[in-house]
Structure 1
Amino acid sequence: MAIEISELIKSYGGFRALNGVNIDIQRGEIHSLVGQNGAGKSTLLGILSGRTAPSEGSVRIFGSELHYGDPRSSRKLGVATIYQELTIAPNLSALENVFLGQLLSVNGFISRKRMTKRYMELCAIMGVNISPLQRAGNMSIADQQMLEIMRGLQLNASILILDEPTASLAPPERKSLLKTIKTLQAGGITIIYVSHHLDEVLELSDSVTILRNGEKIVSQPRAYWTKDKLVSSMLGAEVAEEIVRVTQETQHEDTPPGPELLRATGVSVPGAIEDIAITLHAGEIVGIGGLVGSGRTTLVRALAGLEPKSTGTLWIEGKQVKWPREPGYPMSLGIALAPEDRKHQGLVLGMSCEDNINMVNFGQVKKLGFYRKAKAGHIADGLSKRFGLTRPIQTLCRNLSGGNQQKVLLAKVCNLRPKVLIVDEPTRGIDIGVKVEVLKILRQLANEGMAIVIISSELEEVIAVSNRVLVLSKGRLVKELSQRSEISVDHILQATF
């Protein structure tokens, strides 16, 4: 047995994040942990990785009990954790990232030759070809993910914990990573896989455990599971039926678009995108399709004034305005962006949910120069409920799960009441229940007259809500899909390559 978890309890005051959890994970298997945000997955991973100590219960790794709250103890027992938010040092090379904190030496001197040899061995094990000299900050998210895994393998990990590893990957990159995971399993490594992508869970897993409200609901071999069973076990039968209903409602009718709200032509950013045109009308959702690195995020950052070197021509409601080169100006025009990187670009993690939501629009919560705390709380409470935040609005954002951080970010940008809302990976790290609710909210906002641009690596989400899809490849607009019959995953991918 690789891992034995017995009667595990973790309490925070009167709240139990884990309540009597028992799980056995066999040596050499891929064991998936599935559940909504707040189900207890992050807490369990924190205990296994040594970051958190349980209140009661025990965890044994290959028969030896963990020294709780001690990450080094977990690593010595062969546990390596790859978190959803990567820990790459962008200014170091690929090789330096893999050997960060574990340099190899000969006769007391650092041996770059020995590290390079080991680096190439790790590349061969994983079936990747990444130059050891390449600067990590210039690499794709997919390649950075590979470096994280290589770092874990260099620690002689026999158990690899992967937390939402494909959350920001495009379909081809996701497929490549799943193949790598299977290769690692074939080499004898035990994999604990956490993902909201249920198709991946079914494709990869030998066993699946469902967590809900801090309790283990069921553990069964892969043969037992279907997607419907996973959803029902995660959410409960009544909620699962509601998800089906909401998904069907999200499929929109083809209604004529409203008046033009935004038109941009000749949008270019040196070395990234070139001569892209985009038009947005009231009441429509425009999806941006393409692989990671195709220029999707650069395009919307340019529209939001976050690319100072960008050029282009911009019209708002038919009137030509100056091209934005700082973020305050587009916000004054009614353009709001929920960025992909919520931790570094979207939220102030040391501030509360309430303050984050209100900081973009302090004008509505001040009177005679004084901050109206009650009004701010009322606004934040209403928006947090609309987006399904499951923690009090006074909670610091750094103490929220990734999913709840994303909900705060969406609430924050919607507090601007924008004419044009740009959402980059809006459902990244959000559980299936809230994911559908977010897509439904986007459709409702469009029905109220807002123009919305959506980028998502989950192309099915783009298809579900978009009236049109613009496909980007290598920094250029290569296709516009405007007919409902054209908007499909196959057509998007065909245009991409």
Structure 2
Amino acid sequence: MSGGAVAEAAPVKKEMAIEISELIKSYGGFRALNGVNIDIQRGEIHSLVGQNGAGKSTLLGILSGRTAPSEGSVRIFGSELHYGDPRSSRKLGVATIYQELTIAPNLSALENVFLGQLLSVKGFISRKRMTKRYMELCALMGVNISPLQRAGNMSIADQQMLEIMRGLQLDAGILILDEPTASLAPPERKSLLKTIKTLQAGGITIIYVSHHLDEVLELSDSVTILRNGEKIVTQPRAYWTKDKLVSSMLGAEVAEEIVRVTQETRHEDAAPGPELLRATGVTVPGAIEDIAITLHAGEIVGIGGLVGSGRTTLVRALAGLEPKSTGSLWIEGKQVKWPREPGYPMSLGIALAPEDRKHQGLVLGMSCEDNINMVNFSQVKKLGFYRKAKAGHIADGLSKRFGLTRPIHTLCRNLSGGNQQKVLLAKVCNLRPKVLIVDEPTRGIDIGVKVEVLKILRQLANEGMAIVIISSELEEVIAVSNRVLVLSKGRLVKELSQRSEISVDHILQATF
């Protein structure tokens, strides 16, 4: 070395938590993943972003051990994953928290965390040891949940924490979070994001999957974009803006179209049509009290409030799904009896698309065609016989109206979340309702389909339907609503009816 020369320090090689190499997953002639390569460093928060159908769920299925790839490899902390074996994935330190929670509602918080992994002393189950470990996990995550509390009585946010604690109980070094904030209100989201940062500070690697792009930008160290089963790009957080994320997810042309459609969805308020529904004194003991709501033809009324405010209980009462509810109801100016079972409101022209589309809205083992027709069977039968051609014609027409991208004979369980939501909307609209209630219509679907759904709701309102929308995405409520009713702790606390009033800030101020 010549005098005065300074040797350049070799770059420090960071340890990889996950190395994904040339990963391919084929289903027949369809490739869900096509040559994906991603390296994820130990201790980073790495977000996977893409539309429904981009390949995120398939990739998570392989990482969690549920799915075997067709080609390629995955290494976890240097060891190759044993494919199609969830236990192998867990042994290597991977814990996966899915969007659909797996909480046992009748068990305590403690029992849920140690479900299937009880701790023992000298061969005997040790509740003392489990309680000690449970409190350590609570301290690690910065939460305070009684170990004795019944899980079914807990908020969705606290149930989510139990799921994470269950994963961490096995000393997981990698935590995969699939749409963890989809069911959470803004304050609960903020709390969970803080917990995720705390876990990262403890050395845990986080793979974060979310359609909430603001969260992705807030949390991530790196972001990978998937599109049509391929990795488009991986870049550090500093590279990304929301516009760049959307453009990379969808392609520039589609992104521009979504901007245009979103602007169209932000409508100018028209004069409301005739009154279609009026309910007063709506009460469900222990949940909501003395709420009044009026709906007119051609308008969309948003219901604002946090999780637990009574939003879903209110619309369930209107749909006849709360047998203990009381109130007074008028349809098109005529008073009718209060509904206490779901068939009666449907006969009055009230239809509900529930928030849990997989368990309450659709029969996943049936085809799209059968799901769409099952609510109005009388129109597809004659002299007691099922008219297959008629059923297919009705389902095909509605599926095209709502933009279904798969054939109507496809089983609903094989659809993306966005297509499932379109089938659910087609199904409830097959009732030809006067009043349509949609609870969380865009949960767990990508930004492109979200705009499609919101545009469909506006079109239905323009055709004379009255629509009630509940969404944890307050920006979506604001985008389509003519009025917003704000609920807090089971009571109606504010009605926002002027365009200048309808904003996230005004909704949250009223809520608190």
Verify same fold: TM over 0.5: yes
Partner-residue secondary structure (3-state), 2:375 = coil
Shift of 1:175: 0.7
Shift of 1:461: 0.3
Contact 1:36 1:234 in 2 (8 A): yes
Shift of 1:395: 2.1
User: What is the aligned counterpart of 2:384 among 359, 364, 369?
Assistant: 369
Contact 1:104 1:115 in 2 (8 A): yes
Shift of 1:368: 2.6
Quote the Cα distance in structure 1 between the aligned partners of 2:417 and 2:88: 26
Shift of 1:95: 0.6
Shift of 1:225: 0.8
Contact 1:37 1:404 in 2 (8 A): no
Shift of 1:457: 0.2
Quote the Cα distance in structure 2 between the aligned partners of 1:295 and 1:473: 7
Aligned equivalent of 1:158: 173
Task: List alignment gaps of at least 5 residues for structure 2.
Answer: 1-15
Which one is further off, 39-48 or 349-358? 349-358
Which one is further off, 305-314 or 355-364? 355-364
Contact 1:88 1:148 in 2 (8 A): yes
Quote the Cα distance in structure 2 between the aligned partners of 1:168 and 1:387: 24
Q: CA RMSD in A?
A: 1.0
Quote the Cα distance in structure 1 between the aligned partners of 2:75 and 2:460: 49
Task: List alignment gaps of at least 5 residues for structure 1.
Answer: none
Quote the Cα distance in structure 2 between the aligned partners of 1:55 and 1:390: 25
Shift of 1:28: 0.7
Deviations along 1:352-400, one digit per CA (max 9) or x if unpaired, are 1211111111122222322222222232233233333333322222233
Shift of 1:406: 2.1
Deviations along 1:445-471, one digit per CA (max 9) or x if unpaired, are 001000000000000000000011000
Partner-residue secondary structure (3-state), 1:288 = strand
Quote the Cα distance in structure 1 between the aligned partners of 2:247 and 2:28: 30
Quote the Cα distance in structure 2 between the aligned partners of 1:341 and 1:118: 33
Shift of 1:408: 1.7
Quote the Cα distance in structure 2 between the aligned partners of 1:271 and 1:399: 38
Quote the Cα distance in structure 1 between the aligned partners of 2:331 and 2:120: 60
Deviations along 1:134-184, one digit per CA (max 9) or x if unpaired, are 111111111110100000100211100000001111111111111111111
Contact 1:208 1:221 in 2 (8 A): yes
Quote the Cα distance in structure 2 between the aligned partners of 1:95 and 1:461: 37
Aligned equivalent of 2:471: 456
Deviations along 1:74-94, one digit per CA (max 9) or x if unpaired, are 000000000001000011111
Shift of 1:402: 2.8
TM-score by length of 2: 0.96
Deviations along 1:236-270, one digit per CA (max 9) or x if unpaired, are 11000000000000011121100000000000001
Q: Highest Rg: 1 or 2?
A: 2
Partner-residue secondary structure (3-state), 1:356 = helix
Shift of 1:59: 0.6
What fraction of aligned residue pairs are identical, expressed as a percent?
Answer: 98
Partner-residue secondary structure (3-state), 1:308 = coil
Deviations along 1:403-452, one digit per CA (max 9) or x if unpaired, are 33222212211111110000000000110001011101101100100000
Quote the Cα distance in structure 1 between the aligned partners of 2:392 and 2:222: 44
Quote the Cα distance in structure 1 between the aligned partners of 2:303 and 2:28: 44
Shift of 1:317: 0.1
Aligned positions, number: 497
Quote the Cα distance in structure 2 between the aligned partners of 1:340 and 1:172: 20
Partner-residue secondary structure (3-state), 1:216 = strand
Quote the Cα distance in structure 1 between the aligned partners of 2:459 and 2:453: 10
Quote the Cα distance in structure 2 between the aligned partners of 1:80 and 1:218: 25
Is the counterpart of residue 57 in structure 1 residue 68 in structure 2? no
TM-score by length of 1: 0.99
Quote the Cα distance in structure 2 between the aligned partners of 1:246 and 1:429: 20
